[in-house]
Homo-oligomer: A and B are copies of this chain.
Amino acid sequence: MYRLDIAEVADRSGYAPSTLRYYEKRGLIASDGRHGLRRQYDDSVLTRLGLIALGQTAGFSLDQIAQFMEPNGESFQLDRDDLHNQADKLHRKAKELAATAHLLEHIAKCTAPSHMGCPRFRKLLKDALNARGSSHT
């Protein structure tokens, strides 16, 4: 239970002080006291920030992350269904990105004199539009 002031938290977490204040406004973290005007934190804030960072890389919004976390301390509530859903989403997104990457590589390698001369490329163009169209329905 060390006390840290905002500059230390910023250093150790990699989050800018302005971000820490912003997170406080959003209810994601809480300072527990002041030294003069300066916010002081309990070192458990670093755990919370770790959770936030994790949530962010997992693609959750700050609002969602706020909901997972208990108002104080290091504990939090993760719904297993939410986790599976998000994992699915990430897996799908990962596959989509990998597919697109392969596509870009094909375009780079393709020796047709003009890209439009490559039938595979023309099909890809159509698919790109169709993917848009169907995602609306």
Contacts and interface: CB of A to CB of B under 8 A. Distances in A.
Q: How many copies does the complex hold?
A: 2
Contacts of A88: 101
A83 B104 contact: yes
Interface string A82-106: 0110111011011111101111110
Interface of A: 12-15, 46-47, 49-51, 53-54, 57-59, 74-76, 78, 80, 83-84, 86-88, 90-91, 93-98, 100-105, 107-108, 114-116, 124-126, 128-129, 131-133, 135-136
B100 A97 contact: no
B129 A49 contact: yes
A57 B131 contact: yes
